[in-house]
Chain A
Amino acid sequence: MRRYDILIAGIGGQGVITLGTLLKLAAIRAGVEVTGAERRGGAQREGRVTSHVRYRTLEPEEAENPRRQAFSGLIPRGGAHMVIALEPLEAARSLALMNPDTVVISEVAPRTPTAVRLGSAEYPPVERIRDWIAEVTPRGCLVGLEAASRERFGSLRQVNVIALGLASALGQLPVPDEALLETVRERLPGFDANREAFVLGRELAGTAGGSIVSPATK
């Protein structure tokens, strides 16, 4: 069996669910079997939201093996091939799913939790978060996705598609870029900007190996 497991993490309102849906719809388009559980934050904002995206391809001899039929929606501990985090603290909270081969793509700009806002907790410096990830995998990068989107497109609307571009460049996604882009075209408004965002993501990937790509903005 070939698997490819991606965890997407972030907070309510950032588009975690949308990003997961894009990656899954692309699999349907490409004829790859997919599943994955979502943790939804309710209708409210600010809570942690995750989407598990699990691709698999059964070998022909496994097709009738009853031990390989059920397809669970949860990535097991240490099982993620890739983690996409739309917020650095949520990348850190996803450490348990990482292993030494995991590709980690994380937004670098923090979103302040209420506890920090109220002064009852401190937000760790992003350099520390980078180091925690490096304790598990050398393939982590913190990228200014929001800064890049704001700079090029004047809003945060392209953040998720930039992340998709990075994912396509840094990982071995079992779905081809064409399937991803066709899905983006079908599901999101403004395809020209999104295609540009995807390319931008791929370009950022070239400079992203294991480092903080853009300065941390608070």
Chain B
Amino acid sequence: MNPLASSESGRAVLAMGNEALARGGIEAGLGYFSTYPGTPASEVGTVLQGLREEFPGLYAEISTNEHVAALGALGASWAGVRSMVAMKHVGMNVAAEPFHFAGYTGVRAGMVVVLGSDPGATSSTGEQDDRWYSLHTHLPVLEPADIQEAKEMTRQALELSEAYDLPFVVNAPSKLCHNIGTLRLGPLPERVTYRGGFERNPERYLNLFDLAVKNHGRCLANVERLRADAGRLGLNRVIPGRGRVGIVCSGLLFAYTMEALEILGLDDVPVLKVGMSYPLDPRLVTRFLEGLDRAVFVEELEGFLEFQAKRWAYDAGVRVPIVGKELFPATGEVDVDRVTDALAEALGGRLPHDRRRGSEALERHRAEMPPRQGAFCPGCPHRATNFALRRAAGPDTVFAGDIGCYTLSVLPPFRVSDWVTCMNCGAGSGQAIAQVSDDPVVALVGDSTFFHSGVPTLLNAVQNGADLVLLILDNRWVAMTGHQPSPTTDRLVNGTPRKAVDLVGFVRSLGVEWVRRADAFRVRPLEVLLREALAGSGVRVIVVEGECALQSERRRKGALALQEEWVDLDPERCQRCHRCYRDLACPAIREEEGAEGPVYVIDLGLCQRCGVCEEICPNSAITRTRVRRGRAA
């Protein structure tokens, strides 16, 4: 049994931050869950979908996009079922419209929004701080500092949501989502409402004219009620100290601050730990500040707490000097080391020299360490497609890439993506470039991104007669975020068939006359097809099919089937033209020192037998051999 389903209260289990968030929901009697997967919050959905086995009443879906997911969670709440919706920070932009009304209508059963944020943009195209949204959506924000709090606060958020008639946000940065450690379980609820019923409430749900204005007022009143009660909810906490300089912080940065103070030997600094950063409790903040000579706000990004606290301090006539953004840059992730350095500067104290020896050595030698960029996996269909595209495209081709594993197309050796911003950014802006220029535009979009937000753009391109080549890279999964099923998944890893969208038929139904289907791994025919597409006009769509190699590998249950097939690179025939090693850049092809200099070899442990290197080798140096069982011996 999944330990996260355990009813053993007090039991310590190993859990990821995302799993703790999910368990918090379970402990609060969650009945409905929706998400669009996005790193760092993807596993919240993976876990809750898995827990349907132990909690058969639980509804958990991977939605088409965040907008749909948010409206779904709100609907479930109106039907009296406690709901959770999870997404990455930029998903909030897609879901922003429903969230701006959720405070107006309020909730019936509790609703929590789990937002996985990404300071440092380690797996995102931006590092926006979604807490600022709450200044206009008015959704309260809780900020857990570690795995345990991730669970407690999610549970509490669902309860408070009901009490204050507002959906609550739990903000979880990537370093918390992907933190794995001890989690102590709490009790499971005795009763959970999995089936509810909608109750008509026109006063609240029909936001028209004066009713919208009235509901806006009620939303603000709910926020003020929560603000007034903040002192007794136990979400914010003062850690007393006799020092005259105090620290204000929240979330993960609280954990970093406490460790930094320990490293610096500063055990007397008062710290205000903010657990609810919107609405901020003005009494607590101003009281904490007025006892100090100086306050340090330990915050990353643009400084949400400092911005609010200065406003309340002004109103209360508190004039304590505040430093925050002077010490911490508004961009990039703040980790325990940056906190330690900043606090050493602001409070005095020094990092022991032994602790600096390593970082000094790194600085001395860093320049000699070649960077390591991500690459497509061995056997990835995107590598094959990129190779064909690179050869078919001309020097003036504009490459409109998008969000997914194929975002790696921006990197050498392929470089077939000229911009990356948001979901659907490729075809979205590409079609306009085609409208106002003679540049040939090739847009790439994955199957999941296409259904997330690409469909209206394709329809737009058709309706307005854009000259656009669109490659739908159908790898059958939402691969980058951990292989959630996509609308084109026709078979699960265990072989269970699944009803999939007929992508070619769907595209045709939008009015696209030139639609072709291609096999990603047959790069020569694909290259020919791409040349034909590039020579044409109007909207041309190629559905490039090839399943994600990791999923095919899982279905084969590892390497067993691969042992019946061999791929050999004959060093005698190889002319070292580099086509396989550099232009295709498959990680399974390596360079080794041979008797007469360097040679290329195929690492059969990594090779997925996709056959692309064999097909592209101009010297027939690569051969595939099938060995039939029984004859091999």
* Interface members, chain A 87-108 (any B CB < 8 Å): 89-90, 92-93, 95-102
Decide yes or no: A92 and B369 within 8 Å by CB, A24-B180, A34-B14, A45-B376 being known contacts. yes
User: Does A113 belong to the interface (CB within 8 Å)?
Assistant: yes
B480 touches A123 (CB 8 A): no
Q: How far, in whole Å, are A48 and B481 apart by their CA atoms in the complex?
A: 17
B405 touches A38 (CB 8 A): no
User: Does B629 belong to the interface (CB within 8 Å)?
Assistant: no
Q: B548's closest neighbor in chain A, by CB?
A: A43
A99 touches B354 (CB 8 A): yes
Decide yes or no: A95 and B362 within 8 Å by CB, A71-B181, A79-B355, A114-B375 being known contacts. yes
B374 touches A45 (CB 8 A): yes
B369 touches A124 (CB 8 A): yes
Question: Which B residues touch A13, using CB under 8 A?
Answer: 377, 606
Q: How far, in whole Å, are A39 and B335 apart by their CA atoms in the complex?
A: 13
Nearest CB on A from B394, distance (A): 22
A72 touches B181 (CB 8 A): no
Select B258's contact among A24, A67, A115, beta carbons within 8 Å.
A67
User: Does A77 belong to the interface (CB within 8 Å)?
Assistant: yes
Question: Which B residues touch A156, using CB under 8 A?
Answer: 605
User: Does B587 belong to the interface (CB within 8 Å)?
Assistant: yes
Q: How far, in whole Å, are A71 and B150 apart by their CA atoms in the complex?
A: 12
Question: Which B residues touch A12, using CB under 8 A?
Answer: 374
Select A100's contact among B267, B336, B357, B371, beta carbons within 8 Å.
B357
Nearest CB on A from B561, distance (A): 16
**Segment from B125-133, B490-498, B501-509, B589-597 that makes contact with A:** B589-597
User: Does A195 belong to the interface (CB within 8 Å)?
Assistant: no
Question: Which A residues touch B548, using CB under 8 A?
Answer: 43
Residue pairs across A and B with CB atoms within 8 Å: the count is 227
User: Does A37 belong to the interface (CB within 8 Å)?
Assistant: yes
A44 touches B370 (CB 8 A): no
Q: A28's closest neighbor in chain B, by CB?
A: B14
Decide yes or no: A28 and B13 within 8 Å by CB, A13-B377, A95-B362, A115-B371 being known contacts. yes
B358 touches A78 (CB 8 A): yes
Residue with the greatest number of chain B CB neighbours at <10 A, chosen from A44, A99, A116: A44
Decide yes or no: A116 and B370 within 8 Å by CB, A43-B480, A77-B356 being known contacts. yes
Q: Contact string, B59-74, partner A, CB cutoff 8 A, digits 1/0?
A: 0000000000000000
State which size class the interface on A falls in.
Answer: 35 or more
A42 touches B591 (CB 8 A): no
Q: How far, in whole Å, are A135 and B365 apart by their CA atoms in the complex?
A: 11
Nearest CB on A from B339, distance (A): 9
Q: How far, in whole Å, are A93 and B605 apart by their CA atoms in the complex?
A: 26
User: Does A2 belong to the interface (CB within 8 Å)?
Assistant: no
Q: How far, in whole Å, are A112 and B585 apart by their CA atoms in the complex?
A: 11
Judged by DSSP, the binding face of B is: mixed
B182 touches A123 (CB 8 A): no
User: Does B222 belong to the interface (CB within 8 Å)?
Assistant: no
Q: B411's closest neighbor in chain A, by CB?
A: A114
Nearest CB on A from B359, distance (A): 4
A118 touches B582 (CB 8 A): yes
How many B residues face the partner with a CB closer than 8 A? Answer: 80
User: Does B315 belong to the interface (CB within 8 Å)?
Assistant: no
Select A36's contact among B181, B352, B374, B380, beta carbons within 8 Å.
B181
Question: Which A residues touch B483, using CB under 8 A?
Answer: 43
B336 touches A72 (CB 8 A): yes
User: Does B471 belong to the interface (CB within 8 Å)?
Assistant: no
User: Does A191 belong to the interface (CB within 8 Å)?
Assistant: no
B182 touches A118 (CB 8 A): no
User: Does A206 belong to the interface (CB within 8 Å)?
Assistant: no
Question: Which B residues touch A24, using CB under 8 A?
Answer: 14, 180-181
User: Does B283 belong to the interface (CB within 8 Å)?
Assistant: no
Decide yes or no: A67 and B358 within 8 Å by CB, A36-B180, A45-B587, A76-B336 being known contacts. no
Question: Which B residues touch A209, using CB under 8 A?
Answer: none
* Interface members, chain B 130-163 (any A CB < 8 Å): 145-148
Q: How far, in whole Å, are A47 and B123 apart by their CA atoms in the complex?
A: 12
B180 touches A20 (CB 8 A): yes
* Interface members, chain B 435-487 (any A CB < 8 Å): 479-483
Q: How far, in whole Å, are A24 and B181 apart by their CA atoms in the complex?
A: 7
User: Does A27 belong to the interface (CB within 8 Å)?
Assistant: yes
User: Does B519 belong to the interface (CB within 8 Å)?
Assistant: no
Select B374's contact among A33, A41, A93, A95, beta carbons within 8 Å.
A41
* Interface members, chain B 546-601 (any A CB < 8 Å): 548, 550, 581-582, 585, 587, 590-593
User: Does B528 belong to the interface (CB within 8 Å)?
Assistant: no
Question: Which A residues touch B365, using CB under 8 A?
Answer: 92, 95, 132
**Segment from B248-256, B317-325, B530-538 that makes contact with A:** B248-256
Q: How far, in whole Å, are A47 and B39 apart by their CA atoms in the complex?
A: 16
* Interface members, chain B 375-426 (any A CB < 8 Å): 375-378, 380, 405, 408, 411-413
Q: A97's closest neighbor in chain B, by CB?
A: B358
Decide yes or no: A95 and B359 within 8 Å by CB, A44-B405, A72-B259, A118-B585 being known contacts. yes
Question: Which B residues touch A118, using CB under 8 A?
Answer: 412-413, 582, 585
Question: Which B residues touch A76, using CB under 8 A?
Answer: 259-260, 263, 336-337, 340, 355
Which 7 A-B pairs have CB atoms at the shortest separation, nearest pair first?
A: A35-B181, A78-B355, A121-B370, A72-B255, A73-B179, A47-B374, A70-B255
List 15 extra interface pairs beyond A73-B180, A78-B356, CB under 8 A.
A20-B180, A33-B12, A70-B259, A71-B255, A72-B252, A72-B256, A76-B260, A78-B358, A92-B362, A95-B362, A96-B359, A112-B591, A115-B372, A118-B412, A124-B368
Q: Which residues of B contact A (CB under 8 A)?
A: 12-14, 39, 122-123, 145-148, 175-176, 178-182, 237, 239, 252, 254-256, 258-263, 267, 335-337, 340, 351-352, 354-359, 361-362, 364-365, 368-378, 380, 405, 408, 411-413, 479-483, 548, 550, 581-582, 585, 587, 590-593, 605-606
